[in-house]
Amino acid sequence: MTDINAANIHPREVANKASKESLKKAIRMALEVENEAIRLNTQTFNRNRYTAVAKLDDYQELKDKARKIKEESIESLPGLIKQLTEVIEARGGKVFLAKTKEEASNYIKNVCLQQNAKLVVKAKSITSEEIQLNSVLEKEGIEVAETDLAEFILQVSGEQPSHNVAPAIHRSRERITELFKENFNTSESLETGEELTKFARDILRKKFLSADVGISGANLIAADSGTILLVESEGNIRLTTQLPAVHIAISGIEKIIRKREDIGIFIELLAASATGQSLTTYTNILTPPLDLPILNLNGREDKEREFHLVLVDNGRMKMRDDNDFREALYCIRCSACMNVCANFQAVGGHAFGGESYVGGIGGAWTIFTSGKLEDARFAELCTGCSRCVPNCPVKIDIPNLNSTIKNRLIKAEGGASFQKRFFGNFSSLAKMSSHFPAISNWIGDLDISRTFLEKTVGLDKRRPMSKIADRTLESLYKDYRKKNNAYKIRFDDRTILFADVFTNYNRPQAGIAAITVFEKLGISIELSKVMDDGRALQSQGMIDEAKVKAKDTAKYLGELIDNGNSIIVVEPSVLAMFRRDFEKLIEDEELFKKISENSYDPIEYLNLLFNRNEIDTNDSFKIPETINKNIFLHNQCQMKTIGADRENIEFLKRLGFNVTTSDVECCGMAGSFGYKKEYYDLSKNIGDELIKQIVEVTKDDDNPILLASGTSCRAQIDDGLKEKDTIHPIEFIESLLK
């Protein structure tokens, strides 16, 4: 196993070389050393978050309000900066607007030098990491003491933070114990979290009492009053901002909002989204300069308090002027997007991150704060699973940001790689292979073919190839229609099953099952023509090509809907395209709304009919007494994002089954992602979590019922279980028809 610390190298340092190969090395390092701790901590935060937001009756309303506040604040940002400056300076504070990170760090350095500061205590601040403040001060002989426990650990280890809220989330307790024993002369055992915390606290307490200057960040700043919000879990920020006579606050300009009264909305959202608490342990609302006595515990003779607010631009105004990336400025640094991300849960921010900003949201921030597009190559780790979207308290479309980054990288490099074109044009490859499926599958299984594909397009030869079906959905449907014209139509509802690429060429039995179920229940259903909706191209970052496919598909769907049809989609990733991604791809708001509101998962559609009491389960289905009543259901990630998963669960329970659902956010396959050599190990690491859960839940069942809606999900599960088959829920429903 690679010992990252012994080699004095960290995954992010490797990833920062900004090449595909260096990113691959960073992933491997993180999986070997940091995986267990990261997964435990992020998943704990994530579960707590679900519990916390469930207690907020007005959660969606809070999100809408927060989003609107941030939109309005960023829109009027120049005026708010001016207003805030005037308010702070009117009270005797000083404000400095830094255009670059160098201007920001040099200003703070000069303040410290003017104060003859020898020791600075510093609270956790991502912005201070961005401007590389510590190294600037240390070059001047000024000691910087990180007072947040996690930041203290990282300062001792010489590492960069790997998470916004919990910077040392990648370190297990055992590794922290080892670190402290290597760097401090102590006879204490340091075997428990309490012992480690006490040890660090005793060291830091002396620093607080001796500090000349205190430096903090800011969660939010209200322009109308100069009020600063600082949330924390340890109390160190209070000591940092109040014990020294000199307080310097560093903040990105995006943290400014209009009014003090709006802070309350973000307090509720921050605590729930970040750590799953109803309220963060310490919530500081300061209006500096503070009117507090000066203690001079460090022996200084300061007579009055001094406050400096350093507002940092460093690319933010450029981000504001870029329509593709502006919404990244709405981020409130809660880390909900990281905690819910399956890839981040596996490798953390040292692989899935840049110099200062990490996770799915980190790519956009890295581009504009570093000025280098290539530094955001880690955005390739965003698979577009979309689980971050409903979890973001300000409703940022993070997958779209990362698709844009991939697209700009492609353009900067002179065009898409052979690998991206191979996977992005899967529809053409599948169509060609479908003419000779047996030969195509045989060739695809040959060792020489696998080796060739691995070397040419990076398709990992350890991953079983996706099989082309013996017959396409189109072909099977023609035969089906010749034999089945006698079903009585009971409903006015007319539906069209969308023949997506994946169902048509890989899993046509799911499509035929949907048609069979609908017709036997008396619902009119026909098959559409086969169309590439652009999903594969979008996932590779080939957005311009994806838009062409999406617009053609949208035009066709619009015509079908205008003729009185609802659209049924068995592949969840395609349904998510219609309900989410088409909004940006087709650039036609009215058409998108029409398609989004008239597209359904097949079981979701059936459940709507049952909820309207138009179909009775007892009349339509016969559940054999001998059948296993326990079902394990893995709902595809995008299906959960658009809410269709709930209908599947409800319908199966309505039929009398006990449904256990997976608690992983994504299976790790994510379409082409799990096939690529550079991501195969990461994909399998995530998939193993799902397999372990399936094995545990079904260990007492001789013939477990395993259902999964996504094509790639079924591929990942079947590869992991080997001897058990996973089917689409609609195929299972078909088997229960009378």
What is the tens place of the pLDDT at every residue in 371-394?
999 999 999 999 999 999 999 999
Do residues 105 and 133 lie in contact, with contact meaning Cβ atoms separated by under 8 Å?
A: yes
pLDDT band at 18 (very low <50, low <70, confident <90, very high): low
Give SS3 for 153.
helix
Average pLDDT over residues 351-375: 95
User: Tell me, what's the pLDDT at 614?
Assistant: 75
User: Tell me, what's the pLDDT at 620?
Assistant: 82
User: Tell me, what's the pLDDT at 420?
Assistant: 96
pLDDT band at 486 (very low <50, low <70, confident <90, very high): low
User: Tell me, what's the pLDDT at 255?
Assistant: 98
User: Tell me, what's the pLDDT at 211?
Assistant: 94
pLDDT band at 346 (very low <50, low <70, confident <90, very high): very high
User: Tell me, what's the pLDDT at 235?
Assistant: 86
* CATH numbers and ranges of domains, the chain: 11-316 (3.40.50.10420), 336-416 (no CATH), 473-735 (no CATH)
User: Tell me, what's the pLDDT at 10?
Assistant: 47
User: What value, to the nearest 5°, has the Cα angle with vertex 228 and ends 227 and 234?
Assistant: 140
Q: Comparing C-alpha atoms, which of 451, 353, 383, 336 is closest to residue 27?
A: 353
Instruction: Determine which of 158-172, 473-487, 589-603, 678-692 has the lowest per-residue pLDDT on average.
Output: 473-487
Distance CA 280, CA 268 (A): 9
Residue 613 has pLDDT above 80, yes or no: no
Q: Half-sphere exposure of 136 toward its Cβ, with a 13 Å CA cutoff?
A: 19
Average pLDDT over residues 458-479: 95
Average pLDDT over residues 674-699: 95
Backbone angles phi, psi at 392, to 5 degrees: -75, 125
DSSP state letter for 312: E
Average pLDDT over residues 483-499: 84
Q: Comparing C-alpha atoms, which of 251, 249, 241 is closest to residue 292?
A: 241
What is the tens place of the pLDDT at every residue in 131-165?
999 999 999 999 999 999 999 999 999 998 999 99
Angstrom distances, CA of residue 357 to CA of 169, 265, 679, 703: 15, 24, 21, 47
pLDDT band at 295 (very low <50, low <70, confident <90, very high): confident
Residue 424 has pLDDT above 60, yes or no: yes
Residue 436 has pLDDT above 60, yes or no: yes
Q: Comparing C-alpha atoms, which of 253, 241, 302, 249 is closest to residue 108?
A: 249
